[in-house]
Chains A and B, each alone.
Chain A
Amino acid sequence: MAGIEVSALHKRYPDGTVAVDHVDLSIDDGELFVMLGPSGCGKTTTLRAIAGLERQTTGDIRIGDTLVNDLPPAERDIAMVFQFYALYPHLRTRDNLAFPLRAEGLPKSEVHERVAEAARLMRLDPLLDRRPRQLSGGEQQRVALARALVRRPRAFLMDEPLTNLDAELRADMRTEIKHLQGELGATMVYVTHDQVEAMSLGHRIAILNKGRVEQIGTPLEVYDRPASLFCAAFIGSPPMNLIEVEVADGKLRGQGGLVLTPPPGLPRDRRLVAGVRPEALEVTAPGAERSVPARVVSAEWLGDEIIYVVDHSGQRDVRVRMPPTVRFAADAPVGLRHTGGTPAVYDVRTEELVA
Chain B
Amino acid sequence: MAVSVDEAVSAGPARGRPPAARRPGGRGRSVLEVALLTVLAVVMLFPVLWMIETSIKENRDVYAIPAEFFGFTVTMDHFKDVFVAPDGGRSALSVAFLNSVLVAGASTVLATVLGVPAAWAYSRFALKAKKDQLFFILSTRFMPPVVVVIPIFLMYRQVGLIDSKLGLILIYAAYNVPFTIWMMKGFVDEVPAEYEDAAMLDGYTRLQAFRKFTLPLLVPGIAATAVFALIFSWNEFVFAIFLTSSDSVRTAPPAIAGLIGGTTVDWGLVAAASVVFALPVLVFAYLVRRHLVAGVTLGAVRR
Contacts and interface: CB of A to CB of B under 8 A. Distances in A.
A53 B200 contact: yes
B198 A86 contact: yes
Given A99-B202, A103-B204, A14 B192 contact: no
Interface string B118-134: 00000000111110000
- Select the residue from B128, B195, B201 with max chain A CB neighbours within 10 A: B201
Given A86-B195, A90-B216, A80 B201 contact: yes
A74 interface: yes
Given A51-B201, A74-B200, A15 B194 contact: no
Interface in B171-211: 192, 194-195, 197-198, 200-205
B216 A100 contact: no
A276 interface: no
A149 to B, nearest CB: 13
A234 interface: no
Given A86-B192, A88-B213, A90-B216, A15 B130 contact: yes
A5 B275 CA distance: 70
Interface residues of A, number: 27
B125 to A, nearest CB: 8
B128 A15 contact: yes
Contacts of A267: none
A56 to B, nearest CB: 14
Given A100-B203, A103-B202, A103-B204, A86 B130 contact: no
Contacts of B200: 52-53, 72-74
B131 to A, nearest CB: 9
Contact of A84 (B128, B192, B201): B192
Contacts of B128: 14-16
B201 A74 contact: yes
A129 B194 CA distance: 23
Given A88-B213, A90-B216, A78 B192 contact: no
A90 B214 CA distance: 12
Interface in A104-159: 104
A160 B205 CA distance: 24
A82 interface: yes
A350 interface: no
B129 A74 contact: no
Interface residues of B, number: 19
Nearest to A13: B126
Nearest to B129: A15
Given A74-B203, A103-B203, A103-B204, A84 B127 contact: no
- Select the residue from A74, A86, A89, A104 with max chain B CB neighbours within 10 A: A86
Nearest to A51: B201
B127 A78 contact: no
Interface string B204-248: 110000000100110000000000000000000000000000000
Nearest to A74: B203
B130 A80 contact: no
Contacts of B194: 82-86
Nearest to B201: A73
B196 to A, nearest CB: 9
A79 interface: yes
A80 B199 CA distance: 11
A83 B204 CA distance: 21
A80 B126 contact: no
Contacts of A15: 126-130
Nearest to B216: A90
Interface in B75-118: none
Contacts of B204: 74, 103
A124 to B, nearest CB: 17
A86 B202 contact: no
A104 B203 contact: yes
- Select the residue from B192, B198, B216 with max chain A CB neighbours within 10 A: B198
28 contacts: A13-B126, A14-B127, A15-B128, A16-B128, A51-B197, A52-B200, A53-B197, A53-B200, A72-B200, A73-B201, A74-B200, A74-B201, A74-B202, A74-B203, A80-B198, A82-B194, A85-B194, A86-B194, A86-B198, A88-B195, A88-B213, A89-B217, A90-B216, A100-B201, A100-B202, A103-B202, A103-B203, A103-B204
3 smallest A-B Cβ distances: which pairs?
A86-B194, A74-B203, A13-B126
Given A48-B197, A51-B201, A88-B198, 5 more contacts: A15-B129, A74-B200, A84-B192, A86-B192, A86-B194
